[in-house]
Structures are given as C-alpha cells and as structure tokens.
Amino acid sequence: MSIVDSMKKTMLKQAGKFVGSVVRNASEETLYRLFATVSAVSKEPAKGGLKKLANMAKEKHPMIQSWRRVFQNANPKCVEKVMTNLVINEFALGEKIRQEKMLEHEVVLPKLLVISPTYACNLNCVGCYAGLYGRKYQLSKEEVWSLIRQANELGIYFFIITGGEPFVWPHLMETLKEFNDSYFQIYTNGTLITKEVAQKLAELGNATPAISVEGFETDTDWRRGRGVFAKISEAWKNLREAGVIFGASVTATRLNHDTIVKEEFWNFLKENDVAYSWIFQFMPVGMNPSMDLVPTPEQRYERFFVLDKLRLGGDFAFVADFWNHGFLTHGCLAAGSKYLHINAKGYAEPCVFQQFAVDSIREKSLLEILKSPFFTAYKRMIPYSNNLFRPCPIIDNPKVLRAMVKKFNAIPQHEGSEKVLTDLAPELDKLSEEWAKYADKLWYEYGYAEKYPSKRGIYDFEVRMNRYANNEEKLAIDKKA
Ligand code: SF4
C-alpha cells in the first residue's frame, strides 16, 4: 500500500470514529457534510454510495431520520462500531480490497459471510431446519476464527451468525471481541439475552441481534413455544436499556400473514424500538420439508405492497423482504455472489435455504470454495429469470435447483432435504407458475422492468470485466474512478 493510500485509510477510520461520536446528535446538515467529506476521499463504488447517503441527509430522507432516531437511543460504542466497522471497514475500505482480490484471484467475491457455528438450540420451533440435532453439529472456535480471518483477508468485514441458536455456542462473545473491527448480525430467538449479555454487547459494540418474532403472542408462541413472546419482550427491554441496536427477523407464513400485513404489528415493533426488520418467507427446507406454512402467491403479492411502503417510509432504519426485494440485488444472492452459508457441519451451502453442498471448510479454503465449479456455475446463471421478482432457484425457478444438484452431485445437508427435489417438486412447480403471474404483473405493469433492468451474469468474473471494459461498471481500484 502506498503512503497516500495508507494516509487515506487512516483518515477514513478517523472520520468513521468522528462520525460515530457526533452522529447521535448531528443535524441532517452536519450529516450531509460528513458523508460528503468521506465520499470525497473514497473511490467507486463506495464513493457513489456515500454520496447518495449525503444527498439523502440533505433532503432529510425518512430513512436518514430513522437512522438518527436509532443512533440517538443507542450506546455511543454501538454507533461508533456501525460507522467504523460497517461503513468504513466493510463498505468503503473493504470494497476496494474485495475488488483487488477479485482481480488477483479472478473471482467475484461476496460482501458477507453467513456462519452457523452450531445447530444446537434451546427451543424447538415448528418447521425449523436445525432444531432436532442437539449438540451433534458444531464448528470449533478455531474453525470459525480461521474463516473470519480468511474473509477479512478478502476484504469481507460483515458476518451474519445464525444456527441453531448462536448464544448457545460457547465462543460467541469471545469471537466478537477477537474480531472487533468486523461487524456481526446475530439471528437469535432472543431468549438467552439477559441483562448481562446485553451489557456485554453494548461494551463490544460490534454486533446487532435480529430477534425472531412471528407476530404477537399467539403467533409467536404457537411456532416458538409457550412463554417465548414474553422472553422476547424481556430481551428487547435488556437491549434497549443497554443501548444495543437490535432488529426483528419475521418469518412470513401462511398462518401469520394476516398479522404481519397489519399496521398494528409494525407500530408495535416501532414502539419497542426495533430498529430494522428482515422478513423471510417460510421455506420448505430442512428435515422433512413441508409446504404447509409456505405463503400463497396471493399472500406474497399482498405482502410486497405493505413491506415496500414500510421500506421507504422511515419508521425503521430499513425493512427488507428477502425474496420480494430481489430487484434491489440483481436477483439471488447465493453461492458467493453476495453471500454464502457455512453450516454447522462445515459445509458451504450456496445460501441458508439452499441446503445442498459440495465443499467443506474442513477440506478447502474459503477462496477455493468461492472459486469452485459449483459456485462458479451458480454465479454465471444469476439472475435465473429476467424478472427479478422471481429470484429464487428453490421457490421461483425450481428446475434450476434440481439441475444444479444433479449436475454437481451436491449432498443434501439434512435428512429429507432431497424431498424439495422429489416429493415436493410438483407442488413447487405449481407454486412458481402461480407466482409468475403476480411477478409479471409487478415487473411489467408497475414499471420495475424499466427501473431495475436485469443484468445477466452480473456476478460472473468475465462478464463483470467486460462490463468494466465497456464502461458499464466502475471499479474502486480504477485510478480514474
Ligand atoms: S437461493 Fe433463494 S433464498 Fe437463497 S439467496 Fe437465492 S433467492 Fe434467496
């Protein structure tokens, strides 16, 4: 690294710390100036992103107002870590490293890594893919740390920890401390977040729990167990008092649909200081996959309008509906295009829901896995449909999943996972065909096709290089950028 680059890196980190310290009480005008300054010393594509944030602050965009509200209520350490670890390390500096490594290794790299260090859990929720294993499958501390180090080397500083229940894994807090320049989102049932745990998270600052909630007490306790809703409320209170930024993870099912499309539910989350929300549609995966809870196409369509309004509304820092917002990510994120999942057995799954794998971290490095024929083939095919409202090879384009598993002899990761390719195939074909009608309506009649045109092969290395050569895309490493 040149002296100039090194100075810029230090400046960016200092700027991040400074922003972190003042942002809690900053006006939109101050935020605008801060983001504009950081943008001025960054390169594409981080530069463009930061400039966009600066303009959003200038225009007093509802999302910026919402972030300000979140920051005002948060512990200063948590705010500082969002700025230094997520905005600076992952977004501004990490993007440049990822692109340098992309060129060096000739592979498009993901932005984040999802790790399930354990499948063990203290609950036994209806339809969970991991709940029945006990402590049979765990990653060691050394395995997880080696993975994070390898990812950091590639410029990845954002990690999602899921499971199983991450707080059951004995090395979680130690890991957050060891990698205090990375940022972690922890998908948790929340029941183990005591006052002490919340306090420790506040001191570390570099993790945000996303707590599973299915609706109000009836919906949540039906799926997660009696008394769980009360324990979630307790976890929210503990986190709020400690100033930890936390979110909600909502599984949309056929049964809780009516609850989660109601304003009342979202007001309730807001009143409880939930900062952000991810909505995951129930998927027929794991042991004995079933279609019983999968939302109907009509429900998915209705949910889109409710959640897109929430996404843009400013009540939350962000709201994302994992499948219905595929148009914001060029479709599927799997197989290292934007992320991949290392499961508790050590296997590298294309994504959390696509539970078939070829390679294991116990045999290959992270980079070798990202360059594997299985992942390369997936990335070359994204998006699987030109309509980005049909992003998924499991529920929207099931023929793709069947063909890929067959071609690469991918191993089912749970007993019964293969049913998604066999017993459930007719129902999945029908579901995808029915959804296609709604998806086409959204894509063509609501103008998304023009606004978010699909870019074939966007996650393939050669296609990306061609796009760069044709000035269709900028790179952070480009001196002109
Ligand atoms: S495979 Fe489906 S669930 Fe997984 S990232 Fe792609 S679209 Fe999402």
Model pLDDT for residues 390-443, shown as the tens digit of each residue: 999 999 999 999 999 999 999 999 988 999 999 999 999 999 999 999 999 999
For residue 102 and ligand 1, the question of a CB distance below 6 A is answered with no
- Which of ligand 1's atoms lies nearest the C-alpha of 391? 7
Q: What is the pLDDT of residue 451?
A: 93
Q: What is the dihedral of CA 143, 144, 146, 149, to 10 degrees?
A: 180
CATH architecture of 110-453: Alpha-Beta Barrel (3.20)
Ligand 1 atom closest to the CA of 333, numbered from 1: 5
The answer to whether 66 and 59 have CB atoms below 8 angstroms apart is no
Residue 337, pLDDT score: 95
How far is the centre of ligand 1, averaged over its atoms, from the C-alpha of 396 (Å)? 10
Predicted pLDDT of residue 9: 65
Residue 481 pLDDT: 46
Among 111, 281, 322, name the best residue to mutate to test ligand 1's pocket (greatest count of ligand atoms within 8 A of Cβ): 322
pLDDT beneath 70, residues of the chain: 1-22, 43-46, 130-131, 476-481
Residue to mutate, 278, 333, 458, ligand 1, most ligand atoms under 8 Å from C-beta: 333
Give the Å distance between the CA of 238 and the centre of ligand 1: 33
401 touches ligand 1 (CB under 6 Å)? no
Buried-state track 110-132, b at ≥16 Cβ within 10 A, e below 16: bbbbbbbbbbbbebebbbbbbbe
Quick one: which H or E segment has residue 252?
strand 247-252
| pLDDT value for 119 | 93
Q: Is the CB of 424 under 6 A from ligand 1?
A: no
**347 DSSP 8-state letter:** B
| Measured CA distances, 103 to 33, 97, 135 (Å) | 33, 10, 40
Strands 207-212, 247-252: parallel, antiparallel or unpaired by DSSP? parallel
Which segments of the chain belong to CATH 3.20.20.70?
110-453
Ligand 1 pocket, residue 340 CB under 6 Å:
no
pLDDT in tens, 71-110: 888 999 999 999 889 988 998 889 889 999 999 999 999 9
